[in-house]
Amino acid sequence: MVLATPSPVTHRTAEENLGLGYLAAFLREAGHTVVVVDGWLEGLDVPQLAQRILDARPGMVGFACYRSNMERAMETMRLLGEAGADVFTVAGGYGPTFHTNDFLEAGFNAVVRGEGEVPLLRLAEHLRDGTPPLDQIPGLSHWSAEGVVRHSPAPAPKLALDELPHPSRDTLHLTLARRSMVHVQTARGCQASCTFCSIVAFERVGGGATWRQRSIPDVVDELEALWRRGATHFKVIDDSLLEPPRDLAWSTELADEIARRGIRPRLRGSIRADRVTDEVVAELARAGFFSFSCGIENFAQSALRRMAKRADVQQNRRALDIFRAHGIYVQAGHILFDDRTTLEELEENYRGMREYSWTISKGIFTEMYAAAGTNFTRRLGKNGTLQVTQDMLGNTRYELLDERVRPLYQGLKQWHRAHSLIYDKAIDPLSAPKALDAHELAVMHRLAQELRRVDLDFFRSLLDLAAGQCSTAALGGAVQELVRAELARTADWYERLHDQVISAYDDLGLMYDADANPFVC
């Protein structure tokens, strides 16, 4: 069988798909022959991906899919059909789980809802010898012989993570060649309940706990094995690294175990602000963590309440202060706009962004994503403010309620759209991130901070305009005039900075081959 993923439509550069590695290892352990084709890492377009699959002559193709590579997966299937391939196709991942019928109607034979290890193994057994029946495979939706879609009522089981084999590393050489970080996973899921997030919704598909972890010895076994193969920088892809019962003692045990093995990995992870303490960060830094993503999301308490964030503004600020004291790079996740954003909240966010302008951020404009399966999207639907039309990424549009906020939303979005390429290129080595040393990180961080400063100056000018005497009816036109004037005034500056970013890429041996940002459209 072939396990494949097409390149997504994304502004990020390629990283390995650890899900394919786990599935390949699990199936190989059961005696199946598996070929992994990572179209993103290998830089394959759709015809090239289809040809790689055809060359392997598989009986089954499993696609790892999101909304952002759904169309490319469908096009790959079309090419397989035109070539006369008699192959069973199945899709799994977040996209198929929340858009099951879309994938089936597009031509997939089956969809896995939830975690894929057991359903895919059972499906391979079915295709080999006819058992178990498709209806009895947990977590599977499929076309019946009668041409009817059937959904297995049994959820895909969640296996104990220490019982899973370490993921196959078929693409490790490609990851290292791109100076991308090698992915590892120490836990799956999250215990929070943020209104905009699909993670817990995905975990609930399988029932049971929404977060589970691997043991420290098992994690460090994997790190050590990869270290011996030349990997030094690792991205811990846990949705949330430090969920209870993980705490200071766990962080200390991790650092001690890594030190005992005599390895010195450089690590990047994701952590919730309400789990950050000075002592914990000190121990995680000792373990090798130099960078975190942290979902700050907003500097207005009213907005955080709408998002159902566990952390409040004070905890967010304390977490950022602690990170900076320990020299940790932080990609501070931020959601500036939702349907109920107010001018007062925008002012609070401006002040917080200015105070913590050293954090890593892809431009000033961000909005809450109305994804399928989230509490936010359900609330919008109940309120009647959710529009039917979805974009290619599955984001459903909605209306901003405050009439004076709407022009600022449009102005910031237009500003971001004009500069999205340089934002994405400057930030990618820090946010992906790449396997850079301390000096190289500092070079890219300086460029990102220069972009941030100009962004915040523009944000301030918009806020001043909205706070002035301009009427609501005239505000939209005034904002557009300001945007045009500032784009013209700063055009040469942005061009010079873009040249500096290109030069830095050349010096550091990096490449940027991503798409235009699909989220700002």
User: Is residue 323 situated within a structural domain?
Assistant: no
64 lies in a domain?
A: yes
Quote the crossing angle between the two packed helices 438-467 and 472-508, to the nearest 10°.
170
Can you give 204-246 as a three-state secondary structure string? Answer: HHCCCCCEEECCHHHHHHHHHHHHHCCCCEEEECCCCCCCCCC
Domain total in the chain: 1
Whose tokens are 């879609």? That residue is 149
What residues contact 338, with CB distance under 8 A and at least 6 apart? 196, 303, 306, 307, 367, 368, 376
Q: What is the largest CA-CA distance in the chain?
A: 75
Range of the domain at 51: 2-151
Encoding tokens for residue 332?
Answer: 């501070």
Q: Residue 440: inside a domain, yes or no?
A: no
Residue 474 has phi, psi (to 5 degrees) of -95, -10
Spatial distance between the Cα atoms of 255 and 237, rounded to a whole number of angstroms: 18
Distance of alpha carbon 165 from alpha carbon 163, whole angstroms: 7
- Could you tell me if residue 72 is inside a domain? yes
Angle at 260 between CA 254 and CA 262, to 5 degrees: 110
CA 187, 189, 192, 195 torsion-angle sign: positive
C-alpha to C-alpha distance for 45 and 24, rounded to whole angstroms: 22
The closest alpha carbon to 239, from 218, 265, 269, 277, belongs to 269
Continuous segment of H or E residues that includes residue 466 = helix 438-467
Are the C-beta atoms of residues 234 and 184 closer than 8 Å to each other? Answer: yes
Residue 75 to residues 5, 46, 56, 173, Cα–Cα distance (Å): 12, 7, 18, 28
In 3-state terms the chain splits into helix, strand, coil percentages (rounded to 5) of 50, 15, 35
Give Cα separations from 20 to 28, 93, 134, 141 (angstroms).
Answer: 12, 10, 22, 20
Residue 78 lies in a domain: yes
- Given a contact cutoff of 8 angstroms between Cβ atoms, the answer to whether 92 and 116 are in contact is yes
In a domain, 142, yes or no: yes
Assigned domain for 207 exists: no
Q: 414-462, pLDDT tens digit by residue? A: 999 999 999 999 999 999 889 999 999 999 999 999 999 999 999 999 9
Alpha carbons 88 and 45: distance in angstroms, whole number: 21
pLDDT number for residue 97: 92
pLDDT value of residue 367: 92
Written as six digits, the tokens of 157 are 């089981």
**What is this structure's pTM?**
0.93
pLDDT digits (tens, 9 = 90+) for 33-88: 999 999 999 999 999 999 999 999 999 999 999 878 989 999 998 999 899 999 99
How far lies 298's CA from each of 336, 338, 377, in Å? 7, 11, 19
Name the residue among 363, 330, 334 with its Cα closest to residue 349. Answer: 334
Cβ atoms of 326 and 292 closer than 8 Å: no
Low-confidence ranges of the chain (pLDDT < 70): 384-396, 521
Q: Please confirm whether the linkage preceding 245 is cis (ω < 30° from 0).
A: yes
| Residue 209 in domain | no
Whole-angstrom Cα distance, residue 39 to residue 93?
16
Q: Which helix (H) or strand (E) holds 188?
A: strand 187-189
Q: E strands within 68-133?
A: 88-92, 110-112
Q: What is the pLDDT of residue 64?
A: 95
Rounded Cα distance, 185 and 259, in Å: 19
Report CA-CA distances (Å) from 102 to 4, 167, 221, 383: 19, 29, 40, 25
Report d(CA 220, CA 227) in Å as an integer.
10
Q: How far apart are CA 332 and CA 362, in angstroms?
A: 10
CA distances (Å), origin 8, targets 45, 129, 404 = 10, 34, 36
What does the alpha-carbon distance between residue 38 and residue 6 come to, in Å, rounded to a whole number? 7
Q: What is the CATH number of the domain that holds 103?
A: 3.40.50.280
Cα–Cα distance, 407 to 394 (Å, whole number): 24
Q: Rounded to an integer, what distance in angstroms lies between the CA atom of residue 100 and that of residue 98?
A: 6
Q: How far apart (Å, rounded) are the C-alpha atoms in residues 292 and 331?
A: 6
C-alpha count within 13 angstroms, C-beta hemisphere, residue 201: 19
Task: State the amino acid at position 361 in one-letter form.
Answer: S
Q: CB under 8 Å to 373, separation ≥6 — which residues?
A: 97, 98, 198, 201, 202
> Would you state the pLDDT for residue 388?
47
Of 122, 226, 95, 212, the C-alpha closest to 167 is 226
The answer to whether 444 touches 425, Cβ cutoff 8 Å, is no
